[in-house]
A and B are shown apart, each in its own frame.
Chain A
Amino acid sequence: MIGVRLYMLQRITALLMAPLVIGHIAVMIYAVQGGLSAAEILGRTQGSLLWALFYGTFVVAVALHAAIGLRVITHETFGVGRTGLAILTTGLFLVLAAMGLRAVYAVTAL
Chain B
Amino acid sequence: MSDGSHSLRVSVWRGTQAGAFEAFDVPMQESQTVLDLVAWIQQNADPTLAYRYACRVGMCGSCAMMVNGVPRWTCRTHVGKVATDGAVEIAPLRNLPVIKDLAVDMDPFFDKWTEAGGAFSPTKSRDDAVEPILPETPERREADAAIECINCAVCYAACDVVSANPDYLGPAALNRAWSLVNDVKDGALDARLIAVSGAGGCHNCHSQQGCVAHCPNELNPTASIAGLKRATVRAALKGRI
Contact flags A1-44 to B (C-beta < 8 A → 1, else 0): 11111111001000000000000000000000000000000000
Instruction: Name the residue of chain A whose CB is nearest to the CB of B241.
Output: A4
In the complex, whether A72 has a CB less than 8 A from a CB of chain B is: yes
CA distance A3 to B167 in the complex (A): 12
The list of the 9 closest CB pairs from A to B, nearest first, reads: A76-B164, A7-B203, A4-B197, A4-B232, A1-B199, A4-B236, A2-B203, A3-B197, A76-B165
**Using Cβ atoms and an 8 Å threshold, which residues of chain B touch A82?**
199
**Using Cβ atoms and an 8 Å threshold, which residues of chain A touch B229?**
7
In the complex, whether B161 has a CB less than 8 A from a CB of chain A is: yes
In the complex, whether B209 has a CB less than 8 A from a CB of chain A is: no
Residues 182 to 241 of chain B near chain A (Cβ within 8 Å): 197-201, 203-204, 229, 232-233, 236, 241
In the complex, whether A77 has a CB less than 8 A from a CB of chain B is: yes
Known A-B contacts: A2-B203, A11-B233. Give 5 more (CB < 8 A): A1-B199, A2-B204, A3-B199, A75-B165, A76-B165
**Using Cβ atoms and an 8 Å threshold, which residues of chain A touch B164?**
75-77
**Using Cβ atoms and an 8 Å threshold, which residues of chain B touch A6?**
203
In the bound complex, do residue A3 and residue B233 qualify as a contact, i.e. CB atoms below 8 Å apart?
A: no
Cβ distance B24 to chain A, nearest Cβ, rounded Å:
37
Contact A1-B167, Cβ < 8 Å, known A6-B203, A82-B199 = yes
CA distance A77 to B164 in the complex (A): 7
In the bound complex, do residue B198 and residue A8 qualify as a contact, i.e. CB atoms below 8 Å apart?
A: no
CA distance A40 to B229 in the complex (A): 47
Instruction: Name the residue of chain B whose CB is nearest to the CB of A82.
Output: B199
**Using Cβ atoms and an 8 Å threshold, which residues of chain A touch B198?**
3
A-B contact count (CB 8 A): 36
Cβ distance B117 to chain A, nearest Cβ, rounded Å:
14
Contact A1-B197, Cβ < 8 Å, known A75-B165, A76-B161, A76-B164 = no
CA distance A72 to B200 in the complex (A): 11
Contact A8-B204, Cβ < 8 Å, known A1-B199, A2-B199 = no
CA distance A3 to B198 in the complex (A): 5
**Using Cβ atoms and an 8 Å threshold, which residues of chain A touch B232?**
4
CA distance A55 to B161 in the complex (A): 35
**Using Cβ atoms and an 8 Å threshold, which residues of chain B touch A2?**
199, 203-204
In the bound complex, do residue A3 and residue B165 qualify as a contact, i.e. CB atoms below 8 Å apart?
A: no
**Using Cβ atoms and an 8 Å threshold, which residues of chain A touch B200?**
1
In the bound complex, do residue A5 and residue B236 qualify as a contact, i.e. CB atoms below 8 Å apart?
A: yes
CA distance A11 to B165 in the complex (A): 21
Cβ distance A9 to chain B, nearest Cβ, rounded Å:
11
In the bound complex, do residue A3 and residue B161 qualify as a contact, i.e. CB atoms below 8 Å apart?
A: no
CA distance A105 to B164 in the complex (A): 40
Instruction: Name the residue of chain A whose CB is nearest to the CB of B197.
Output: A4
CA distance A3 to B201 in the complex (A): 7
Cβ distance B234 to chain A, nearest Cβ, rounded Å:
10
CA distance A76 to B167 in the complex (A): 10
In the bound complex, do residue A72 and residue B204 qualify as a contact, i.e. CB atoms below 8 Å apart?
A: yes
